[in-house]
Amino acid sequence: MFEWIRGLRAKQAPSRRLQSRDEENEAERVDLSEFAPGILPFLGLTAYLQLELYEAATRGVSGAATLEAKETLARVAGETLAKHQKFADEIRRRGHEPHTIMRPYTKVIDDYVERIDADDWHQHVLSLYLVGGLFDGFFASLAEGLKDSYRTEGISILGGGEGREALRGLLAQALEEDRKLSHWLAVWGRRLVGDTLLVSRAVLALSEKREFVESEVEPVFTELIADHIRRMDGLGLTA
């Protein structure tokens, strides 16, 4: 896995397009949006993921050592809670209770959050920064394929918020003040990749329009790793 990640650095990041092995000779291009789930699974997944990111951000507030850090984590918590509430409100508008629509997806998200949980505060904040950015982009790309009028609003919600950039600044400051953090956080960032790909596979398998064939969607995972590398590089960490 790590050799693959290092190899990507020398290449231009691929676009989020897929090529079927069976139709490779025709160079058919398949958009990630073709793997979009139905609207209710989409809403349930995104609502619950944002709820878990909100809870993670609030835990970061309690462990912050400075007032600046507390304010930044509180801002991130507020933004993720607002996203959750917007998705939950849309579920209610469609005549369902959010907890019933979210429930089928709690295990895969809970297991993921448990795997990436960290006692170290800096690792915890790095997880929030990397995971939040990766999944907001991933679900926004999937939303492009929704056969529903909510498509545009869903993409807009996932693209909103300035708190994540403030998180990057918080991490950059900590790395500058303590150079020893660099290796520690780089190792942690690498660990996040594999678990993130597991969740991505589970989400793509929910597609109502295209059968999930892992060999066909490998470029999606390559692009996720490329996104991860860009964020790590932006902090001066070696992915």
pLDDT tier, 227 (very low <50, low <70, confident <90, very high otherwise): confident
Residue 9 forms part of a structural domain: no
Long-range contact pairs involving 99-106 (C-beta distance under 8 Å, separation at least 24): 101/40, 101/43, 101/44, 101/47, 102/44, 102/45, 102/47, 102/48, 102/51, 103/44, 104/41, 104/44, 105/41, 105/44, 105/45, 105/48, 106/48
Structure tokens belonging to residue 175: 């790395």
Q: What is the pTM of this model?
A: 0.83
Q: Looking at 6-15, 176-185, 195-204, which range is the least confident one? A: 6-15
Residue 204: predicted pLDDT: 86
Which value, in Å, is the radius of gyration of the alpha carbons in the chain?
18
CATH number of the domain encompassing residue 227 = 1.20.1260.10
Residue 46: predicted pLDDT: 95
Number of folded domains in the chain? 1
Residue 83 forms part of a structural domain: yes
Of 126, 132, 131, 125, nearest to 62 by C-alpha is 125
Structure tokens belonging to residue 14: 């691929």
Question: Does the pLDDT at position 31 exceed 90?
Answer: no
Residue 18 forms part of a structural domain: no
pLDDT tier, 104 (very low <50, low <70, confident <90, very high otherwise): very high
CA 66/CA 209 separation, integer angstroms: 48
- What does residue 158 show for φ and ψ, rounded to 5 degrees? -70, -25
Residue 47 forms part of a structural domain: yes
Residue 22 forms part of a structural domain: no
Q: Are 44 and 105 in contact (CB under 8 A)?
A: yes
User: Given the structure tokens 């025709």, which residue do they identify?
Assistant: 26
- 40-65 per-position pLDDT tens digit: 999 999 999 999 999 999 999 988 99
The pLDDT of 3-7, averaged and rounded, is 43
Residue 201 forms part of a structural domain: yes
- 65-89 per-position pLDDT tens digit: 999 999 999 999 999 999 999 999 9
Q: Which domain holds residue 93?
A: 33-234
* Whole-number Cα distances in Å, 47 to 85, 115, 237: 7, 20, 31
Residue 192 forms part of a structural domain: yes
Residue 158: predicted pLDDT: 92
Residue 147 forms part of a structural domain: yes
The pLDDT of 148-164, averaged and rounded, is 89
